[in-house]
């Protein structure tokens, strides 16, 4: 079965075409700058990359570009578009309603729209992408895979804030968490690498990129996660502040900052960028820190310290820790930071093997030493493969033959 995985943003559509159940990738790419005078297509297939300027005034047109490219006589990978039997869509927010991936119907569409208030930058373009795919592939099974779904197992003790309870009842203000598809995928791979059933393993998963989140996975279920009502809470990130005293915002409001300025500051001007004053890119910070830039080093140290603290907190919350997983652009590619994060974790049984940690291959590997009671892994995330697997399962239920 050929399954198309779609991740629609406000001005882009990323795609991967899978052959299931083998999980082989036939093609991947992106249409970006949708709505601009000239959009751009990047299409990768058979170890070849094709780029071109395209006409995509809206997402419907962008979807048509993708489908015509996939079926193109020269650069395509299918003979006809109707070979694509199902489409899996990444949707950021499913609120408390969706505990797993679902086949899309009118009720699901209405719910995604309703939760747009909680994810205004993500759910609306996700919904636009879904409608474009439904229009272009009316006979295909359409599935929604929610970033928040994996975290719906978090107990009230972990997801409620210390606010008046009616705030939760009226506005559903609570911890939702994000990157759930990534955390679920790498936690499952970790259990497989441990040759254990996922229900028997306690793992802390560290998704570290420009956006960062940590999740405590106990017996295969998320029981706590660092991001909250929005992706702003948690560890220090590229441009997001992470955990702060909320009274700071009241204090700055008294100094003349308005809501729009505070929002921009916390989401776009803080984190690694705000502390260092030079960059939100960890690669740049490491380079500048090696050259003696003190605030670049300070940003790195704060980043590592906050992650170390979360590992300790989640270990205490779960009662037993079997493994830690690093994933995401920073987590997968930066041995120096992994070493620094784990250096002070000997009291909970973590010890990194320097040779394993700095090895380039295999990408998915154990990096802890033989003496380490807690196993530490690098596991590249593959959210698209997880979405494809969910969509394949749902499509089989809809069309058993």
Residues 211 and 330 in one domain: yes
Q: Minimal CA–CA distance to 100: which of 386, 359, 400?
A: 386
Same domain, yes or no, for 15 and 104? Answer: yes
Written as six digits, the tokens of 244 are 């702060």
Average pLDDT over residues 194-223: 97
What's the number of domains the chain is made of? 2
**pLDDT by residue (tens digit) across 75-114?**
999 999 999 999 999 999 999 999 999 999 999 999 999 9
Boundary residue ending a domain (146, 181, 206) = 146
pLDDT class for 9, splitting at 50, 70, 90?
confident
Query: How does pLDDT run across 255-296, given as a tens digit for each residue?
Result: 999 999 999 999 999 999 999 999 999 999 999 999 999 999
Give the model's pLDDT for residue 400.
Answer: 78
Q: Give domain status of residue 332, yes or no.
A: yes
pLDDT at 88: 97
Integer Cα distance of 5 and 3 in angstroms: 6
135 and 208 assigned to the same domain: no
Q: Which domain holds residue 257?
A: 196-383
Compute the Cα dihedral for 105, 106, 107, 108 and give only its sign: positive
Q: 């590992």: which residue's tokens?
A: 311
Strands 84-91, 48-54: pairing kind? unpaired
Predicted local confidence at residue 293, as pLDDT:
98
In sequence order, the 6+-apart residues with CB closer than 8 A to the CB of 34 are 11, 12, 13, 56, 57, 58, 59, 61, 62
Q: 142 with 200, same domain?
A: no
Pairing of strands 102-103, 141-146: antiparallel
60: CATH: 3.30.420.40
Contact yes or no for 302/320 (Cβ under 8 A): no
Task: Give the whole-angstrom CA distance, residue 309 versus residue 306.
Answer: 5
What pLDDT was estimated at residue 253? 98
Same-domain pairing of 207 and 125: no
Indicate whether 121 pLDDT > 90: no
**Nearest-angstrom CA–CA distance, 159 and 141:** 33
Task: Say whether both 124 and 253 belong to one domain.
Answer: no
Domain end position, chosen among 78, 111, 146:
146
Who contacts 390 (Cβ-Cβ below 8 Å, separation ≥6)? 88, 100, 101, 143, 145
Tens-place pLDDT, residues 158-194: 999 999 999 999 999 999 999 999 999 999 999 999 9
Q: Please answer whether residues 399 and 20 qualify as being in contact, where contact means their C-beta atoms are separated by less than 8 angstroms.
A: no
Please state the pTM of the whole predicted model: 0.92
Judge whether 346 lies within some domain: yes
To the query of whether residue 322 is one of the catalytic residues in this protein, the response is no
With left for phi above 0 and alpha for psi between -120 and 50, is residue 157 left, alpha or beta?
alpha
Cα radius of gyration (the chain): 22
> Could you tell me if residue 107 is inside a domain?
yes
Q: What is the CB neighbour count within 10 angstroms for residue 68?
A: 13
Contacts with 68 (C-beta within 8 Å, 6 or more apart), sequence order: none
Residue 119 pLDDT:
83
Query: What distance, in Å, lies between the first and last C-alpha atoms of the chain?
Result: 11
Does 30 fall in a domain? yes
Share of the chain above pLDDT 90, in %: 94
Co-location of 128 and 225 in the same domain: no
Task: From residue 356, give the alpha-carbon distance in Å to each of 20, 137, 173, 196, 344.
Answer: 33, 46, 43, 22, 18
Q: Which of 117, 147, 245, 390 is catalytic?
A: 147
- 141 and 228 inside one domain: no
Residue 187 lies in a domain: no
Find out whether 92 and 113 touch, Cβ atoms under 8 Å.
no
pLDDT digits (tens, 9 = 90+) for 342-395: 998 989 999 999 999 999 999 999 999 999 999 999 999 999 999 999 999 999
Strand pairing category for 323-327 and 365-366: unpaired
In a domain, 224, yes or no: yes
Of 114, 146, 178, the one marking the end of a domain is 146
CB 205 within 8 A of CB 198: no
Query: Could you tell me if 121 and 233 lie in one domain?
Result: no
Tell me whether residue 179 is in a domain.
no
Residues 125 and 24 in one domain: yes
| Contact between 267 and 234 (Cβ < 8 Å) | no
Could you give phi then psi for residue 212, rounded to 5 degrees? -130, 140
pLDDT average, residue stretch 23-40:
95
**Residue 392 included in any domain:** no
Q: Residue 260 is inside which H or E element, if any? A: helix 259-268
**272 and 142 fall within a common domain:** no
Q: Give phi and psi for 202, each to the nearest 5.
A: -110, 120
Closest to 9 in 3D by CA, of 121, 102, 119? 121
Residues 238 and 117 in one domain: no
């Amino acid at each position: 079965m050929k399954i198309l995985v779609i991740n629609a943003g406000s001005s882009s559509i990323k795609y991967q075409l899978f052959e299931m159940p083998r999980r082989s990738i036939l093609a991947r790419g992106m249409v970006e700058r949708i709505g601009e005078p000239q959009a751009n297509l990047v299409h990768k297939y058979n170890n070849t990359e094709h780029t071109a300027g395209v006409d995509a005034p809206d997402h419907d047109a962008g979807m048509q570009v993708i489908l015509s490219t996939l079926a193109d006589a020269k650069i395509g990978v299918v003979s006809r578009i109707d070979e694509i039997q199902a489409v899996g869509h990444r949707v950021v927010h499913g609120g408390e309603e969706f505990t797993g991936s679902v086949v899309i119907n009118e009720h699901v569409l209405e719910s995604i729209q309703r939760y747009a208030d909680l994810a205004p930058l993500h759910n609306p373009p996700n919904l636009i992408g879904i409608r474009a795919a439904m229009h272009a592939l009316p006979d295909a099974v359409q599935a929604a895979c929610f970033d928040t779904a994996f975290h719906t197992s978090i107990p009230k003790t972990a997801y409620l804030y210390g606010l008046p309870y009616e705030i939760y009842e009226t506005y559903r203000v609570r911890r939702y968490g994000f990157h759930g598809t990534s955390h679920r995928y790498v936690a499952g791979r970790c259990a497989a690498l441990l040759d254990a059933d996922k229900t028997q393993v306690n793992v802390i998963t560290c998704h570290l990129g420009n956006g960062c989140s940590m999740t405590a996975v106990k017996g295969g279920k998320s029981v706590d996660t660092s991001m909250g009502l929005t992706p702003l809470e948690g560890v220090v990130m590229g441009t997001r502040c992470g955990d702060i005293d909320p009274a700071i915002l009241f204090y700055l409001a008294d100094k003349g900052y308005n809501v729009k300025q505070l929002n921009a500051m916390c989401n776009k001007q803080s984190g690694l960028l705000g502390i260092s004053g030079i960059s939100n890119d960890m690669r740049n910070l490491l380079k500048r820190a090696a050259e003696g830039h003190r605030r670049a080093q300070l940003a790195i140290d704060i980043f590592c310290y906050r992650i170390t603290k979360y590992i300790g907190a989640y270990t205490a919350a779960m009662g037993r820790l079997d493994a830690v997983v690093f994933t995401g652009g920073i987590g997968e590619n930066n041995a120096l930071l992994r070493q620094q994060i784990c250096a002070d974790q000997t009291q909970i049984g973590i010890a990194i093997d320097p040779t394993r940690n700095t090895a380039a291959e295999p990408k998915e590997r154990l990096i802890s030493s033989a003496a380490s009671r807690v196993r530490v892994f690098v596991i590249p995330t593959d959210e698209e493969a997880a979405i494809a697997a969910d969509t394949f399962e749902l499509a089989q239920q809809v069309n058993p033959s």
